[in-house]
A = this chain, B = another copy of it.
Amino acid sequence: MSRRIGDIDVSSAALSHRNETLPQLHSVGKPKKESILKEVGHTIKETFFPDDPLRSFKDQPASKRFLLGLQALFPIFNWGRQYNLSKFKSDLIAGMTIASLCIPQDIAYAKLANLPPQYGLYSSFVPPLIYAFMGSSRDIAIGPVAVVSLLLGSLIQEEFDPENDAHNYLRLAFTATFFAGITQATLGFFRLGFLVDFLSHAATVGFMAGAAITIGLQQLKGLLGIKKFTKNTDIVSVMHSVFGQVHHGVKHIEKGINPPSLHQIFFAGPHVIKGFRIGAIAGIIGLTEAVAIGRTFAALKDYPLDGNKEMLSLGTMNIVGSMTSCYVATGSFSRSAVNYMAGCQTAVSNIVMSMIVLLTLEFITPLFKYLPNAILAAIIIAAVVNLVDFEAMILIWKIDKFDFIACMGAFFGVVFISVEIGLLIAVCISFAKILLQVTRPRVALLGNLPGTTIYRNVQQYPAATRVPGVLTVRVDSSIYFSNSNYVKDRILRWLSDEEEANSKINLPRIQYLIIDMSPVIDIDTSGIHALEDLVKSLQKRDVQLLLANPGPVVVTKLHDSHLVQVVGQDKIFLTVADAVRACTRKSQEEA
Inter-subunit contact A18/B15 (CB<8 Å): yes
- Please tell me if A16 contacts chain B, counting CB pairs below 8 Å: yes
- Could you give, for residues 467-500 of chain A, a 1 whenever the CB lies within 8 Å of some chain B CB and a 0 otherwise? 0000000001110111111100110010000000
Inter-subunit contact A17/B10 (CB<8 Å): yes
Copies per complex of this chain: 2
Inter-subunit contact B434/A50 (CB<8 Å): no
- Could you give, for residues 1-13 of chain A, a 1 whenever the CB lies within 8 Å of some chain B CB and a 0 otherwise? 1110101101101
Q: Which of B11, B518, B529 contacts A18, CB < 8 Å?
A: B11
Inter-subunit contact B481/A197 (CB<8 Å): yes
* Complex alpha-carbon distance, A533 and B300, angstroms: 8
- Please tell me if A277 contacts chain B, counting CB pairs below 8 Å: no
- Could you give, for residues 551-571 of chain A, a 1 whenever the CB lies within 8 Å of some chain B CB and a 0 otherwise? 110010100110000000000
Instruction: Indicate whether A400 sits within 8 Å of B295 (C-beta atoms), given known contacts A450-B25, A518-B519.
Output: no
* Contact count band on A: 35 or more
Q: Which of B2, B442, B560, B574 contacts A10, CB < 8 Å?
A: B2
Residues of B within 8 A of A525 (CB): 200-202, 395-396, 399-400, 403
- Closest chain-B Cβ to A425's Cβ sits at a distance in Å of 15
Inter-subunit contact A398/B560 (CB<8 Å): yes
Inter-subunit contact A524/B400 (CB<8 Å): yes
Binds B, one of A112-120, A210-218, A373-381, A455-463: A455-463
Instruction: Indicate whether A3 sits within 8 Å of B7 (C-beta atoms), given known contacts A31-B459, A401-B36, A460-B555.
Output: no
- Please tell me if A364 contacts chain B, counting CB pairs below 8 Å: no
Residues of B within 8 A of A549 (CB): 456
- Please tell me if A522 contacts chain B, counting CB pairs below 8 Å: yes
Inter-subunit contact A518/B521 (CB<8 Å): no
Inter-subunit contact A486/B50 (CB<8 Å): yes
Residue of B nearest to A401 (CB): B36
- Could you give, for residues 419-446 of chain A, a 1 whenever the CB lies within 8 Å of some chain B CB and a 0 otherwise? 0000000000011011111111110000
* Complex alpha-carbon distance, A202 and B524, angstroms: 9
Residues of B within 8 A of A533 (CB): 295, 299
Residue of B nearest to A200 (CB): B481
* Complex alpha-carbon distance, A461 and B125, angstroms: 57
Instruction: Indicate whether A477 sits within 8 Å of B521 (C-beta atoms), given known contacts A2-B14, A486-B50.
Output: yes
Most chain B CB within 10 A, of A399, A441, A485, A575, is at A399
Instruction: Indicate whether A529 sits within 8 Å of B201 (C-beta atoms), given known contacts A519-B521, A521-B441.
Output: yes
Inter-subunit contact B574/A29 (CB<8 Å): no
Residues of B within 8 A of A574 (CB): 449, 454, 456
- Please tell me if A78 contacts chain B, counting CB pairs below 8 Å: no
Inter-subunit contact A26/B461 (CB<8 Å): yes
Q: Which of B399, B460, B463, B519 contacts A560, CB < 8 Å?
A: B399
Q: Which of B3, B25, B31, B439 contacts A13, CB < 8 Å?
A: B3
Residues of B within 8 A of A50 (CB): 440, 486, 489-490, 493
- Please tell me if A586 contacts chain B, counting CB pairs below 8 Å: no
Binds B, one of A39-47, A235-243, A334-342: A39-47
- Please tell me if A386 contacts chain B, counting CB pairs below 8 Å: no
- Please tell me if A302 contacts chain B, counting CB pairs below 8 Å: yes
* Complex alpha-carbon distance, A574 and B453, angstroms: 12
Residue of B nearest to A541 (CB): B302
Most chain B CB within 10 A, of A3, A14, A50, A295, is at A14
Inter-subunit contact B451/A524 (CB<8 Å): no
* Complex alpha-carbon distance, A88 and B522, angstroms: 46
- Please tell me if A509 contacts chain B, counting CB pairs below 8 Å: no
Inter-subunit contact B194/A439 (CB<8 Å): yes
Q: Which of B5, B201, B402, B485 contacts A197, CB < 8 Å?
A: B485
Inter-subunit contact B457/A551 (CB<8 Å): yes
Residues of B within 8 A of A481 (CB): 197-203, 430
- Please tell me if A51 contacts chain B, counting CB pairs below 8 Å: yes
Instruction: Indicate whether A10 sits within 8 Å of B5 (C-beta atoms), given known contacts A26-B461, A557-B399.
Output: no
- Could you give, for residues 175-209 of chain A, a 1 whenever the CB lies within 8 Å of some chain B CB and a 0 otherwise? 00000000000000000001001111111000000
Residues of B within 8 A of A14 (CB): 2, 14-15, 17-18
Instruction: Indicate whether A482 sits within 8 Å of B401 (C-beta atoms), given known contacts A11-B21, A451-B25, A518-B519.
Output: no
* Complex alpha-carbon distance, A36 and B400, angstroms: 10
- Please tell me if A528 contacts chain B, counting CB pairs below 8 Å: yes
* Complex alpha-carbon distance, A7 and B430, angstroms: 55
- Please tell me if A367 contacts chain B, counting CB pairs below 8 Å: no
Instruction: Pick 13 A–B contacts, CB within 8 A, sort by A.
Output: A3-B17, A5-B17, A11-B17, A14-B17, A25-B449, A30-B460, A51-B489, A199-B481, A201-B524, A399-B525, A430-B481, A434-B434, A477-B521
> A: which residues have CB within 8 A of B?
1-3, 5, 7-8, 10-11, 13-18, 21-22, 25-26, 29-31, 36, 39-40, 43, 46-47, 50-52, 194, 197-203, 295, 299-300, 302, 395-396, 398-403, 430-431, 433-442, 449-452, 454, 456-457, 459-463, 476-478, 480-486, 489-490, 493, 518-519, 521-522, 524-526, 528-529, 533, 536-537, 540-541, 549, 551-552, 555, 557, 560-561, 574-575
Q: What 11 new A-B contacts, CB under 8 Å, besides A29-B462, A194-B440, A302-B541?
A: A15-B18, A29-B461, A51-B489, A52-B493, A200-B482, A200-B524, A396-B525, A399-B561, A403-B524, A454-B575, A518-B519
